Amino acid sequence: MIQLKSLLTCIDNSGASIVECVNVLKKKRPATIGESPQTRVMGEEPNGEWRQSNSLGNRLGDRIVVVVQKSKPAGSEAPTSSALANKVRRGDIRHAVVVRVKKELQRPDGSVVRFGDNACVLVNKSGDPVGTRMNGLVGQELRKRQYSKILSLAPMHV
């Protein structure tokens, strides 16, 4: 679950390597990868009555606000014809999209997916990724959330 003060790895080449979550946008629950935020779960209370409660699971594709905690040194990427400077520096506040979560995620077909770490991709206000390459796999729940640009840049989606 991605919540306040959670550390995530940044898997794009924007220059950030470790980021810290400072806000989950448009939600009053931890950030995640997949379904809509209005998911409801039915549960039985001890007195035998059924109740409805909000789901608190993580969803891929949620937008969060992060602070860059550790950035890669300038010029650490392969030299290109553009600029050698990184796009972000330590202390920058940026928007990001959650692409992997360590918490188990159950898909509608019944399969359960669990990633090894929490990861994100930095995006601008319109939702386009800041980096031009991705270093690792992403969850395919991003397809439902209209992040096709991130899916096309990623080497693999699970």
- To the question of pTM greater than 0.85 for the whole model, the response is no
pLDDT at position 13 is 92
pLDDT at position 42 is 37
Whether residue 158 lies inside any domain: the answer is no
Give the CATH number of the domain where residue 25 resides. Answer: 2.40.150.20
β-bridge mates for residue 2, sequence order: 31
Whether residue 58 lies inside any domain: the answer is yes
Classify residue 55 by burial, with Cβ atoms within 10 Å: 0-12, 13-18, 19+: middle
User: Looking at residues 58-72, what average pLDDT do you find?
Assistant: 87
Whether residue 132 lies inside any domain: the answer is yes
Whether residue 46 lies inside any domain: the answer is no
pLDDT at position 73 is 83
Task: Provide the domain count of the chain.
Answer: 1
Could you report the per-residue pLDDT of 18-51, keeping only the tens digit for each? Answer: 999 999 887 666 777 643 223 233 334 455 544 4
Which structural domain, as residue segments, surrounds residue 144?
A: 7-36+52-153
pLDDT at position 98 is 94
Whether residue 142 lies inside any domain: the answer is yes
Q: Residue 98 corresponds to which amino acid? A: V
